[in-house]
Chain A
């Protein structure tokens, strides 16, 4: 069952991407005079904002994880795999 769901998920994506592309793609009508520098650099800055935010969250989570779950943390508890005689 899961394989079929997975297969349909992949097929759906394969069908959806060209369909969306066709629906939103520029038609024959003339385009506007746009400043490509503005569009491209804006995209770059927005993507960098996302990248640094995600990077900070991931790095922060990892730092907290390492700090919180170190053996010497006051609230550290042994896991089932480590035995109970701490």
Chain B
């Protein structure tokens, strides 16, 4: 159409592209920061299987269902699965990572207060998925 200006459309396109770029960059940056594991993080091997969690600490001890950590320390979880896909979730600390057979997925966190928190499987993994739970025990530092 003659006399029709389409600059508002171009501004609209530019704003949408800028917003999408900003949203993508912010999300990518947050992911980059939280995936960066601090030095000296204690490695805990987390194994999911129908329908419980096993935790193996650096000294070789193992616990089933109960995870013991200390305030102020960083922990790196190496998450595995023995059978089907599970998902390791500590809701209160926003820890969430899939446990996939044949893979080792990692996620880290540093608890900041003494307390007990729920651990649960977040990927439907069979009949008793609903009860594939555990407890995170955050304790005072031992040393």
Interface residues of chain A, those whose CB is within 8 Å of chain B, are: 24-26, 30-37, 39-43, 46-47, 50, 54
Contact = CB atoms under 8 A, between A and B. Distances in A.
Given A25-B32, A31-B36, A32-B36, A37 B93 contact: yes
A33 B38 contact: yes
B74 interface: yes
A39 B38 contact: no
Contacts of B22: 50
Contact of B26 (A24, A25, A33, A47): A47
What is the predominant secondary structure among interface residues of chain A facing chain B?
helix
Interface in B66-87: 74
6 contacts: A26-B32, A33-B74, A34-B33, A36-B95, A47-B26, A50-B22
A36 B23 contact: no
B34 A30 contact: no
Given A35-B112, A40-B30, A43-B26, A30 B38 contact: yes
Please list the 3 inter-chain residue pairs (A to B) with the smallest Cβ-Cβ separation, ordered nearest first: A31-B36, A30-B39, A26-B36
